[in-house]
């Protein structure tokens, strides 16, 4: 008898052979230079259940540019494993041709020139078209939103997430889980969730006082689709009160809680679930580890770390699907579920090429309605990029957007050293492109954006860098928080990613003098996004806007201040 695992692998191989995974088609497209909506959406329906996954949209309603990371280091068992593969290695791993649409969508090389050729990506009106097309094919497909939806833009900030709620409701999702949503504050989150027309799930969202499941966020929901009883279990971001300000949602506790996840899986199986889907905001490496510990999950739809993978990763009998961020991709996963178990799958990561996919007129109108009251502010041009300057964020140690933000903090706040959080959201700006107020908000918007200025000793600075580095490079994924390294301005350092916490960071240097950082000396440090209550200072978007306005045309020196070893 063929085992369940064999079934999965057989199906995967077959899919690759016939191009059903979607990837073979992409390479052909590159050769033909024939990028059409029909080709992008082409999919031979498979089995009896379809899942549609979107995640980490970060309130990006409109098409944008998004450069994928150049540096994404895996440690421990994940060294060299996807998603910790970038650039040419990534293209080699998936058979992607240089310069092809998939090279543009999934890797960073030649980003500016490919972006000019292939155009913008994303836009929820285009995402709507893709979802509608899948539903035309499979009317009862489940649409699942992995969270980080109600955060990240000018309009989202000013409407406290209402713009995103309105537009997402029009897409008619079946369930959602959460992360940055909670930074709206628990009162606002509760208010929205109480009125949501779909399930708000999180098996790991607990009442902080009693350490019991929070009533507003059920752990799972059952759906009957294609004659199959499906359980969708939610997994919110585990480290919200640590990575984000816990004082904004003091009633809630989180954590990975894989023992509770196992209980939920066992419970839904006992209640007759034939397919168990985990809608997760764990981050990819945490999901991989969890898939190896918790048994009985068929599909993990993975979010948080913003990875886009053209094929699912298989851990035991569980497939893990990663669908990118900022509205750039939609994943379709078709499953064959028979006799109470998953027999096979077919998957496609659909890149949302904005110039190729026709916007859904209704959703486009709805988006414009959300933006209309703010249009003058959104479109105000503050400056532009130089002809050889791309602004992007992704990368383990720095991105040019953060270099610019750190420069702004040092010059506008008269500091020696600047710190900028290693978040992974925020679209890119091409060379020679206008920088609007909306663009600045897209990389800075949050409910705790105050730009502080404070004194730190050299010793404390070292503790900060070591602490954040361990959140990224602890060999056990369960101790990782899924962000990137804190970005620094005015400071250089050496990092050995293989060392334990306390020994990774050495050779800390004050760049303006070239002197080594003295542990006992005090430095003026400016930063933003402090998780501490009562942080004072101007909002970061105002600081950055003033700096860009002063510069007129933005041109940055190459950042060579971080020396990375142990890779």
Q: Which residues here bind another protein, judged by CB under 8 A?
A: 56, 148, 179-180, 208, 210-212, 237-244, 246, 253-256, 259, 263, 283, 304-306, 421-425, 463-464, 467-468, 470-471, 476, 478-479, 481-484, 486, 501, 529, 531
Task: Rank residues 68 and 484 by Cβ distance to another protein and give the closer one.
Answer: 484
Query: CA 419 from chain center: how many Å?
Result: 21
The answer to whether residues 83 and 45 touch, using CB atoms and an 8 Å cutoff, is: no
> Least CB distance from residue 364 to another protein, whole Å?
29
**Alpha-carbon dihedral sign for residues 255, 260, 264, 265:** positive
List own/partner pairs for 238-244 with CB under 8 A and 24 or more apart.
238/204, 238/282, 238/286, 239/481, 239/482, 240/179, 240/182, 242/481, 242/531, 243/471, 243/481, 243/482, 243/483, 243/531, 244/179, 244/180, 244/182, 244/183, 244/448, 244/531
C-beta of 246 vs 383, nearer to another protein: 246
Q: Which is nearer to another protein, 357 or 419 (CB)?
A: 419
Q: At its nearest, how many Å lie between another protein and the CB of residue 83?
A: 12
Taking the complex as a whole, the smallest distance from the CB of residue 207 to another protein amounts, in Å, to 9
Least distance to another protein, CB of residue 244, Å: 5
- Per DSSP, 181 falls in state G
Q: Is 39 helix (H, G, I), strand (E, B) or coil?
A: helix
Is the Cβ–Cβ distance between 116 and 387 less than 8 Å?
Answer: no
Q: How far is the CB of 460 from another protein (least distance, A)?
A: 10
For 460, what's the count of Cα atoms within 13 Å in the CB-facing half-sphere?
Answer: 11
Q: Give the separation between CA 98 and CA 96, rounded to whole angstroms.
A: 7
Antiparallel, parallel or unpaired: β 434-436 and 381-385:
antiparallel
CB 488, min distance to another protein, A:
12
Nearer to another protein, 16 or 564 (CB): 564
**Strand-pair partners of 308:** 323
**Least distance in Å: CB of 80 to another protein?**
21
For the chain, helix, strand, coil in percent to 5 are: 35, 25, 40
Q: Least distance in Å: CB of 300 to another protein? A: 16
Which residue number, 198 or 478, has a Cβ lying nearer to another protein? 478
- The smaller minimum CB distance to another protein, of residues 148 and 334, is found at 148
With respect to another protein, which residue has the nearer C-beta, 285 or 311? Answer: 285
Q: How far is the CB of 370 from another protein (least distance, A)?
A: 24
Nearest to 422 by CA among 350, 335, 371, 481: 481
Residue 361 exposed, middle or buried by CB count within 10 Å (0-12, 13-18, 19+): exposed
Q: How far is the CB of 468 from another protein (least distance, A)?
A: 5
Nearer to another protein, 61 or 468 (CB): 468
Of 558, 352, 547, give the one whose Cα is nearest residue 435: 547
- In the bound state with another protein, the residue whose beta carbon lies nearer, of 46 and 254, is 254
State the minimum distance, in angstroms, from the CB of residue 400 to another protein. 18
In contact, 335 and 48? CB cutoff 8 Å: yes
Contact 196, 399 (CB under 8 A): no
Q: Quick one: 295 or 555, whose CB is closer to another protein?
A: 295
Minimum distance between the CB of residue 516 and another protein, rounded to whole angstroms?
23
Residue closer to another protein, measured from CB, 115 or 279: 279
Residue 375: CB atoms within 10 A of its CB come to 12
Closest approach, Cβ 478 to another protein, in A, equals: 4
Paired strand residues for 487: 420
**Contact partners, residue 331, CB within 8 Å, separation at least 6:** 51, 52, 53, 54, 301, 321, 322, 323, 347, 348, 349, 350
Instruction: Compute the residue count for the chain.
Output: 567
Task: Tell me whether residue 231 or residue 253 sits nearer to another protein (CB atom).
Answer: 253
Contacts of 72 (CB under 8 A, 6+ apart): 83, 84, 85, 86, 394, 395, 396
What's the CA dihedral at 168, 172, 177, 178 to 10 degrees? 10
Instruction: Give 43 or 249: the residue with its C-beta nearer to another protein.
Output: 249
CB of 42 to another protein, least distance (A): 32
Nearer to another protein, 237 or 452 (CB): 237
**Which residue in 518, 539, 344 sits closest to 445, CA to CA?**
539
What is the per-residue burial (b if ≥16 Cβ within 10 Å, else e) of 388-423?
Answer: ebbbbbbbbbbbbbbbbbbbbbbbbbebbbbbbbbb
| CA–centroid distance for 356 within its chain | 23
Tokens of 293: 């510990």
């Amino acid at each position: 008898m063929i085992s369940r695992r064999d079934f999965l692998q057989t199906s995967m191989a077959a899919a690759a052979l016939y191009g059903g995974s979607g990837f073979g088609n992409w390479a052909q497209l590159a050769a033909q230079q024939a990028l059409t909506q029909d080709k992008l959406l082409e999919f031979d329906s498979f089995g009896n259940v379809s899942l549609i996954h979107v995640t980490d949209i970060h309130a990006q309603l409109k098409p944008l540019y998004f450069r994928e990371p150049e540096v994404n280091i895996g440690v421990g068992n994940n060294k060299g494993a996807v998603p910790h593969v970038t650039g040419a290695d990534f293209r080699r791993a998936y058979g992607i041709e240089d310069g092809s649409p998939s090279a543009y969508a999934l890797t960073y090389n030649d980003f500016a020139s490919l972006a000019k050729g292939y155009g913008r990506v994303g836009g929820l009106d285009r995402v709507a078209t893709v979802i509608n097309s899948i539903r035309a094919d499979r009317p009862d497909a489940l649409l699942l939103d992995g969270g980080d939806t109600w955060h990240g833009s000018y309009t989202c900030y000013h409407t406290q997430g209402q713009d995103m709620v309105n537009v997402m409701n029009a897409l008619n999702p079946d369930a959602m889980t959460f992360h940055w949503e909670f930074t709206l504050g628990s009162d606002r989150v509760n208010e929205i969730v109480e009125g949501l027309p779909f399930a708000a799930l999180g098996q790991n969202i607990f009442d902080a006082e009693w350490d019991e499941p929070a009533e507003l966020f059920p752990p799972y929901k059952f759906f009957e689709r294609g004659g199959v009883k499906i359980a969708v279990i939610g997994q919110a971001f585990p480290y919200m009160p640590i990575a984000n300000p816990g004082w904004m949602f003091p009633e809630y506790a989180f954590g990975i809680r894989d023992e509770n996840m196992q209980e939920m899986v066992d419970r839904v199986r006992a209640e007759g679930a034939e397919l168990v889907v985990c809608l997760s905001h764990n981050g990819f490496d945490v999901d991989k580890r969890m898939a190896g510990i918790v048994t009985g999950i068929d599909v993990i739809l993975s979010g948080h770390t913003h990875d886009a993978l053209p094929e699912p990763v298989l851990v035991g009998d569980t497939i893990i699907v990663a669908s990118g961020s900022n509205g750039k991709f939609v994943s379709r996963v078709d499953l064959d579920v028979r006799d109470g178990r998953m027999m096979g799958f077919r998957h496609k990561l659909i890149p949302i090429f904005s110039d190729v996919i026709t916007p859904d007129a209704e959703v486009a109108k709805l988006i414009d309605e959300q933006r209309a009251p703010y249009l003058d502010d959104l479109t105000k041009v503050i400056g532009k990029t130089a002809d050889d300057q791309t602004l992007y964020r992704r990368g383990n140690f720095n991105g040019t957007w953060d270099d610019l933000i750190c420069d702004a903090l040092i010059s506008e706040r008269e500091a020696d050293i600047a710190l900028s959080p290693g978040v992974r959201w925020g679209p890119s700006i091409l060379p020679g492109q206008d920088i609007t107020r909306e663009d600045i908000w897209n990389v800075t918007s949050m409910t705790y954006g105050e730009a502080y200025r404070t004194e730190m000793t050299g010793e404390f600075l070292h503790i900060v860098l070591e602490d954040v580095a361990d959140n990224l490079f602890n060999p056990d994924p369960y101790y990782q928080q899924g962000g990137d390294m804190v970005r620094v301005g005015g400071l250089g350092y050496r990092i050995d990613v293989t060392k334990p916490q306390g020994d990774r960071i050495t050779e800390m240097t004050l760049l303006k003098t070239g002197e080594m950082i003295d542990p006992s000396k005090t430095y003026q440090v400016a930063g933003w996004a402090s998780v501490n209550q009562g942080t004072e200072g101007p909002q970061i978007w105002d600081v950055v806007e003033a700096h860009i306005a002063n510069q007129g045309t933005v041109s940055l020196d190459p950042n060579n201040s971080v020396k990375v070893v142990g890779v």
